[in-house]
Amino acid sequence: MNSPVRTGVLLPIGRAQWGEGTDPRGLVGFGVRAERLGYDSLWVNDSLIEPRIESLAMLSALTPVTSRVTLGTAALMPVLRRPVQTAQALASLDLLSGGRLTVTVGAGFPGRLGRPLHALSEVPWERRFARLDETVALWRKLWTAEGPTSFHGEVLRFDDIPRTTPVFRPGGPDIWLGGNTPAARARTGRLYDGWLPYPPDPADYATGLAEVREAAKQAGRDPAGLSSALFVSVLLADTPAEGRRGLEAYSRANYKMELDQLETIQALTAGPPEHVVAYLRRYVDAGARHLVIRIGALDLATQTEQLERLAELLPQLRGCA
């Protein structure tokens, strides 16, 4: 499965990443610059807790000013949104982008990043995984229905839904799952088009991908047809120690936790280019074929500088497979 390695970048749509006093309209230019530098994809994440540009609004702004890159969510939390209206919004993005949309979804996190979001959205925390899977199934049904339709799941039930906005591609955009629990890996193989986790150990990525593919095989699906991606935080620096200090500040600003704790949860690397490439190559060797890079910087100027420096590594990363 030595398919080419693709590399994308997460736009810093949270105010903690673009920096106080910076005009967030510069994020559009950031995305345009990334496409011109040769990145394969642009991604946005999703939250209601902190000040940020809403994820689908950001992708809408990028749609008319880009022409080649995949536009993706990493990850969207559909359970916080009205499912029928979200199906229409995603279909519209897919249509207006010429079929360049990929939708990674997740069910949220416990603690301050989970239950408060559900409370604000008036959605029960219980059965969130079933709600997520049924939301995706509903989207796919709406995107393929020839006329008014109904949907009867265990959590979601709708009758007489009018036909929604058509999608650009038959069946609609690919939908990936961002979870990395055993249950999430099994659900990815059975129900989704790709996998976008962030395990801190490449060996765990390899084991997890094998589980995803086995679940797909057991469900009668082609394992080779599933996309294998990695979400990873990166910061280029002259030395690993300098890079680590930068990621420490990033971790505290974004997660309110120490880097020692974050690195037990997420894939992240910092240091000179050769150090970063060697780290990412281990995940490529484990099977990752789409690298979604989150730049660990706290203002748009540094994000852009890092974007330029990382672009110089794209040929090496594409040659890792």
pLDDT at 115 (0 to 100): 80
The helix (H) or strand (E) run that includes residue 194 is strand 194-195
Tell me what pLDDT residue 108 has: 78
d(CA 45, CA 299): 17
Q: What is the dihedral of CA 82, 84, 89, 93, to 10 degrees?
A: 130
- 3-class secondary structure per residue, 72-84: EEEEECHHHCCHH
Question: Which residues, including other chains, have CB under 8 Å from residue 281's CB and lie 6 or more apart?
Answer: 320
* Second CATH level (architecture) for the domain 6-318: Alpha-Beta Barrel (3.20)
Q: What is the pTM of this model?
A: 0.97
**Burial profile 32-66: b = 16 or more Cβ within 10 angstroms, e = fewer:** ebbbeeebbbbbbbbbeeeebbebbebbbbbbeeb
The ranges of the chain with pLDDT < 70 are 1-2, 110-113
Distance (Å, whole) CA 75 – CA 55: 9
Task: State residue 15's pLDDT score.
Answer: 92
Report the pLDDT value the prediction gives residue 113, as an integer from 0 to 100.
64
pLDDT at 112: 59
Q: How far is residue 178's CA from residue 290's CA, in Å, rounded to a whole number?
A: 13
pLDDT confidence of residue 119: 85
How many C-beta atoms surround the C-beta of residue 115 within 10 A?
Answer: 14
Q: What is the pLDDT of residue 305?
A: 98
Q: For residue 70, give the nearest of 188, 166, 185, 194 by alpha carbon.
A: 194
Q: Which of 41, 123, 50 is nearest to 86 (CA)?
A: 123
- Pairing mode, strands 157-161 and 149-152: antiparallel
User: Is 73 within 8 Å of 46 (Cβ atoms)?
Assistant: yes
Q: What is the pLDDT of residue 58?
A: 98
**Helix (H/G/I), strand (E/B), else coil: 223:** helix
Q: Which pLDDT does position 111 carry in this prediction?
A: 61
Question: Are 44 and 12 in contact, with CB atoms under 8 Å apart?
Answer: no
Residue 198: phi and psi, rounded to 5, are -140, 50
Chain position carrying tokens 């989970």: 114
| Helix, strand, or coil (residue 43) | strand
142-168 per-position pLDDT tens digit = 999 999 999 999 999 999 999 989 999
pLDDT in the model for residue 19: 86
